[in-house]
Structure 1
Amino acid sequence: MSLTSDPPKAAVVATEDYGALKVVPVRHPWRWVAVAAVLVAQFLHGLATNPAWEWDVFARFFTAETILKAVWVTLQLTFYGTVLGFALGILLAFMRLSASRFLVSVAVAYIWAFRSIPLIVQLLFWFNLAYLYKELQFGIPFGPGFYSFDTMGLVGALGAAVLGLALHQAAYAAEIVRGGVLAVDSGQLEAAAALGIPKLRRLRRIVLPQAMRSILPSAANEIISLFKGTSIVSVMAIGELFYQVQVVYGRNGRVVPLLMVATVWYILLTAALSVLQHYVERHYAKGATR
């Protein structure tokens, strides 16, 4: 008589169940939180205790009258560059989307040219317009002129900066707007046309509200880039934020705290633009599934 026997059924079932289990490593999220907290604490401690930051100098100049005026000039450059740039960009975008080969060619040539030339070169060109063309005439092409005027006072430093920023911004805004319009389902336009809705109303009530969902994130990035890019007009001796900071630390030699003044102002204003972007995006996201 054999003393061996088959294993119990419960043991077989248990062995098979363990083999089918999915092994998941134990996660320790608080470890990374602790590491990040220690690094942030060390960074903040260094900011607070390192005398090289000269926070007393920072506090003295952060709300100084010259700095506040420079911030206002920076905001003006950003506002005018954005408004004029996107107005021209929208026109260029619809020129590229038109059925006219001539309009498409003009828009493509403009976008290609202004995206190819560095912004600083464009700014210096407009700043030196009076050197290139001392006088402008209106009259018969290649013939006598009926009216002429001096270009010396035509474009000042601030006007040249706004013109250069706006024309440069328009090339990028055109592609952003065109991409947003192309993202709208063409079937909706066909349905609207079948219902007899006028073309302008189709554009205003159907295309643009939906295109804004695609346009806004990229457009906000461009506006923020333009806001920070206004510092490049310092080469034209315009009293915007970065130029004014350079003037101040050129006089007193406090480079680090003055650079921190500019940095904190850029951070605060960029945060304000990001908050505004959030609310505008939420407005145009009404009715969206996501």
Structure 2
Amino acid sequence: MAVPTDTLPGTPESPASPAGEPAETDAVQPRIVPVRRTGQWAAAVAVLLLLAGALNSVIRNDAFQWDVVGDYFTSAAVLRGLGLTLWLTGVVMVLGFALGTLLAVMRLSANPVLRNVSWGYTWLLRSTPILVQLLFWFNIGALYPQILGIKTVDLLGPVTIAIIGLTLHEAAYAAEVVRGGILSVERGQIEAAESLGLGRWRRLRRIVLPQAMRSIVPPAGNMLIGTLKGTSIVSVIAVHDLLYSVQLVYHRTYQVVPLLLVATVWYTVVTSVLSVGQHYVEKYYARGTAGAR
């Protein structure tokens, strides 16, 4: 029986080569060729050219009257309107989320009355436009001329009506945001808190809400920006916000476009600042997770 030569003693397994050096082979290493992205670069150049053309047309178009924009950008009337817009946004967000959190807890309650009342409120307020709600509150005096012996006209001024209308509307959306955040918390966390004997409200405050904030903050930030821009609708009930302030000016000077640009630039600046703040708040609550960047 023949014995394979590769098992015989002294038979070399490979061609002789200097110690520590690999044997030479005839294999040719493949050549790596980078992917050519000609189409992507061509599209990027085309988009940049279009943007440059649009920006140049806006800057050099005298119809925009940038000198008028500069004159009114920091005028007293515009800054007062901006201040009221920021104040109204802050008040509505705080009150809206306070009421929304209460509604979310009611919606998750085992009590069918509380659960259905919360659902009905959310359904009704999200089903009607905010403008309709504001106009309804503005004309509430037709239904209730007096409240506790006080005339409704004296009790509910335009700013108060704006706060009530925007807060009730905001609370309906905030309730769903908070409810979604609470439902995102793992059931095991709640069971662990129950095993420690923590009460329902303490569990909610110390265990559930801190963890739910990771899911609540991003949509809440979007709601804050939306509320800032949405406050412009109160100009229809003569609240002197940013938009109404520039409207008063251009009704007098007939410089509509530059005054609208003043409001546009201010909204853009404030929204950008809020977006930066939202980024850092999200980063804070995403600590220890894959979302922390």
TM > 0.5 fold call: yes
1:32-89 CA distances to partner (integer Å, 9 max, x unpaired)?
Answer: 4433332222122112211111111110011111000010111111111111111100
- What is the match of residue 89 of structure 2? 78
Matched, 1:27 2:28: no
Q: Does 1:194 align with 2:195?
A: yes
Alignment of 1:91-130 (within 5 A): 91-130=102-141
1:283 deviates by: 1.2
Identity of aligned residues (%): 51
Q: Structure 1 regions of 5+ residues with no counterpart?
A: 1-9, 138-147
2:146 corresponding residue in structure 1: 135
State the shift of 1:192 in Å.
1.9
Aligned twin of 1:167: 168
Larger Rg: 2
> What is the CA deviation profile of residues 194-221 of structure 1, one whole-angstrom value per residue up to 9, with x for unaligned ones?
2333333322232112111111111111
Following the alignment from structure 2 to structure 1, what is the Cα–Cα distance between the partners of residues 137 and 192? Answer: 47
> Matched residue of 2:189: which SS?
helix
Matched, 1:56 2:28: no
Kindly indicate whether residue 250 of structure 2 is the aligned counterpart of residue 240 of structure 1: no
Counterpart of 1:141 in structure 2 is: none
Aligned to 2:57: 46
Q: How far, CA to CA, are the matches of 2:184 and 2:34 in structure 1? A: 41
User: For 2:288, what is the secondary structure of its paired residue?
Assistant: coil
Measure, in 2, the Cα distance between the counterparts of 1:112 and 1:272. Answer: 32
Q: How many residues align?
A: 266
For normalisation by structure 2, the TM-score amounts to 0.84
Partner of 1:251: 252
Distance between the aligned counterparts of 2:144 and 2:32, measured in 1? 77
Report the residue type matching 1:288 in the other structure: T
- Unmatched 5+ residue regions in structure 2? 1-24
Structure 2 CA distance for aligned equivalents of residues 136 and 202 of structure 1: 39
2:289 is matched with which residue? 288
Deviation at 1:25, TM superposition (A): 5.1
Alpha-carbon separation, structure 1, partners of 2:34 and 2:204: 52
The match for 2:152 is 151
Q: Distance in 2 between matches of 1:249 and 1:152?
A: 29
The alpha-carbon distance between structure 1 residues 208 and 22, as it changes in their structure 2 partners (threshold 3 A), is farther
Q: Does 1:90 align with 2:91?
A: no
